[in-house]
Amino acid sequence: MIYVTRRAEFSASHFYHNPAMSPEENRRLFGKCNNPHGHGHNYTLEVTVAGDVDPATGMVMDLKDLKALVEAEVLQLMDHRFLNKEVPVFATTIPTTENIAIEIWKLLAPRLKSGSLHRIRVYETPDLFVDYFGD
């Protein structure tokens, strides 16, 4: 089994707010991240695909295909967007780094043509990242 990781970057804004809670509770819980105008990050995404090496190609999967898939499914959706307002799932799910990683998993896992999705890592900043393995 070989693990192949492809890195991509996107920039987006977000804010944290749970409409089921009072404004005071939201401010207490989320602090500055509750600012309704949002704030932005340069996210770095790592997509890791696991699989056996195809003896015909020497590859787990064609990285051009993975790059194109990440571009089409993730970057087109999230890059240079205000996540809460422009990405439908984040109208009802708080776009924390945890939830962004889970959503990216859901977007990519069913669409891989070879290998299987092993890990989604999302860096919100160089000092904060989340890993999700699909369970």
- Among residue numbers 17 through 36, which ones bind other proteins (CB under 8 A)? 18, 20-21, 29-31
* By the rule CB under 8 A, 16 interacts with other proteins: yes
Residue 44 in contact with other proteins, rule: CB under 8 A: no
User: How far apart are alpha carbons 39 and 44 in whole angstroms?
Assistant: 16
> Which lies closer to other proteins via its Cβ, residue 55 or residue 126?
126
- Beta strands (DSSP E) in the chain are 2-14, 39-51, 81-82, 116-125, 128-132
Q: How far is the CB of 33 from other proteins (least distance, A)?
A: 9
Known catalytic membership, residue 25: no
45: β partners: 8, 122
Interatomic CA distance for residues 117 and 4, integer angstroms: 10
Smallest CA-to-CA distance from 48 within 106, 102, 3, 89 is with: 3
Q: Is 71 a catalytic residue?
A: no
The residue within the footprint of other proteins, chosen from 66, 99, 104, 115 (CB under 8 A), is: 99
* Catalytic entry in 14, 41, 103, 124: 124
Which string of x and - marks every residue 58-97 that binds other proteins (by CB under 8 A)? -----------------------------------xxxxx
Active site residue 33: yes
How far is C-alpha 19 from the geometric centre of its chain's CA atoms?
23
The continuous run of DSSP H or E covering 62 comes out as none
User: Cβ distance 42 to 67 under 8 Å?
Assistant: no
Residues that bind other proteins (CB under 8 A): 16, 18, 20-21, 29-31, 93-99, 101-102, 119, 126-133, 135
Catalytic residue annotation: 33, 80, 124
